[in-house]
Amino acid sequence: MIDNDKYQDLYRIQSSRLQSWDYRCNGAYFITICTKNGIQYFGDITGSEMKLSHIGILADVYWYEIKNHFINVELGGFIVMPNHIHGIILLNNTDNSSTETLNLKSLNKQQQNTMTTISPKKGSISTIVRSYKSAVSRNANRLGYNFSWQSRFHDHIIRNQKSYNHIKEYIKTNPQRWKEDRFYISDNNKSL
């Protein structure tokens, strides 16, 4: 049995998500997911073009699979970079019910309320990203590659068409600006 008072917020990492926003809401979301320690698992930039490694191909293929597993999703711009991905996820939920992702039957009422509060909700951006990261990791490891994601991801709620167009162009041209990218690691500091 879980003692809720004993570990109250002791090991809980503060979420980087906007606390006032329901991430199941219809809208456009700019997502960035990084590899653990910035390791360049996904390939290299040659000139202005991204050359995908085997793991990079997995990251690319499984991104496009998202729409086949979540009927409420459309995909916008997307790019695999050497140590991160950028993508736009568009949610179009017809039902924003709060169906939970955990089986809570074995927990008491107070534990259920705690778990319900912290668990990603069905159809949410967190659930979609978690599923994507899991598919890439599982298949990379199954094929014998040593691969890890950073534990969190970055998101930006896209508020209007102008912002959407700017982000879409940023994604498309990201390889051309690789050496100025905040995630760039020089050849002398690559960890792979």
Q: Which residues, 6 or more positions from 95, have their beta carbon under 8 angstroms from its beta carbon?
A: none
The pLDDT, as a whole number, for residue 50 is 96
CATH superfamily entry for domain 27-179 = Transposase IS200-like (3.30.70.1290)
Strand partners, 146: none
Q: For the segment 168-184, what is each residue's pLDDT rounded down to a tens digit? A: 999 999 999 998 888 88
Q: Helix 125-142 to helix 54-69 angle, to the nearest 10 degrees?
A: 140
Q: For the segment 73-89, what is each residue's pLDDT rounded down to a tens digit? A: 999 999 999 999 999 99
The label of the residue with tokens 């960890």 reads: 191
The pLDDT, as a whole number, for residue 113 is 52
Give the C-alpha separation, 191 to 37, whole Å: 8
The pLDDT, as a whole number, for residue 44 is 95
Question: Is there a contact between 134 and 33 (Cβ–Cβ < 8 Å)?
Answer: no
**Edge to edge, what strands does the sheet with 154-158 contain?**
73-80, 84-91, 27-34, 154-158
Q: For the segment 124-172, what is each residue's pLDDT rounded down to a tens digit? A: 898 999 999 999 999 999 999 999 999 989 999 999 999 999 999 999 9
Query: Can you spell out the DSSP letters for 60-125?
Result: HHHHHHHHHH-TTEEEEEEEE-SSEEEEEEEE--S-----BSS--TTS-HHHHHHHHHHSPBTTSH
- Span 5-29, mean pLDDT? 57
Grouping H, G, I as helix, E, B as strand and the rest as coil, residue 47 is coil
